[in-house]
Amino acid sequence: MLKSPIHAAGILSLLILAGCGGGEPADPNAGSEVLANGLTVKAQIEARQDGYKTLGRNFKTINDQLKTDAPDLAAIQGAAATMVEASANMADWYPEGTGPESGVETEALAAIWEEPEDFATKISDFDGALASLNTTTASGDFEAIAAAVKATGATCGACHDKFRLDD
């Protein structure tokens, strides 16, 4: 029942976005619809952005530590574990109606909902790489950790390339 008006608005806002080169629609009431999970569209989008901020912050902690002469293994382990926890349900961050058509500021592209299988693959590639990074941190082998960090970063980038708006 809530899907078709959102859809119509989506097509409209896509046209508007295309027309003015990517400005954000400034409707303060956008995203007030309530989703099946009880969150408003806006709250869902913000929660997902917070999730990614947590990922970004903790990934930076790991990268920064690896650049030092004496990396702090406990800090690396803690950050990797936090990343696993923060991203556990990433697939649930994307209910229908939380894309660019919502009118809420988001970098999520419509392709997420148009190519759900590929998006799910990107999530599982990421989950796999992060799980092995997390396991590798137990070894204390900084070279192996650095390799796992690189592999994980590649899965972040692969998803961003296709499914996140370019900065």
Alpha helices in the chain (DSSP H): 3-19, 41-67, 73-86, 111-114, 116-137, 142-163
The pattern of x and - marking residues 11 through 30 that bind ligand HEC according to CB under 6 A reads --------------------
Angle at 38 between CA 25 and CA 109, to 5 degrees: 35
108 binds ligand HEC (CB under 6 A): yes
* Shortest separation between residue 106's beta carbon and ligand HEC, angstroms: 4
Please identify, using beta-carbon distances, which residue of 69 and 150 lies nearer to ligand HEC.
150
160 binds ligand HEC (CB under 6 A): yes
Q: Which residues in 58-78 are b (16+ Cβ under 10 Å) and which e? A: bbebbeebeeeeebebeebbe
Residues 126, 152 contacting (CB under 8 angstroms): yes
Please report whether residue 113 would count as binding ligand HEC according to CB under 6 A. Answer: no
Q: What is the identity of the amino acid at 5?
A: P
122 binds ligand HEC (CB under 6 A): yes
| Stretch of 1-9, 22-30, 66-74, 120-128 contacting ligand HEC, by CB under 6 A | 120-128
- Residue 55 near ligand HEC by CB under 6 A: yes
- Give min distance, CB of 163 to ligand HEC, in A: 5
Nearest distance from C-beta of residue 133 to ligand HEC, angstroms: 9
| CB-neighbour burial class of residue 103 (10 A; exposed 0-12, middle 13-18, buried 19+) | buried
Options 59, 100, 101, 103; binder of ligand HEC; rule CB under 6 A:
59
- Distances from the Cα of 164 to the Cαs of 70, 145, 158, in angstroms? 35, 27, 10
Phi-psi group of 22: left, alpha or beta (phi > 0 → left; psi -120 to 50 → alpha; rest → beta) = left
Would you tell me which residues interact with ligand HEC (CB under 6 A)?
Answer: 45, 48-49, 52-53, 55-56, 59, 106-108, 122-123, 126, 152, 155-156, 159-160, 163-164
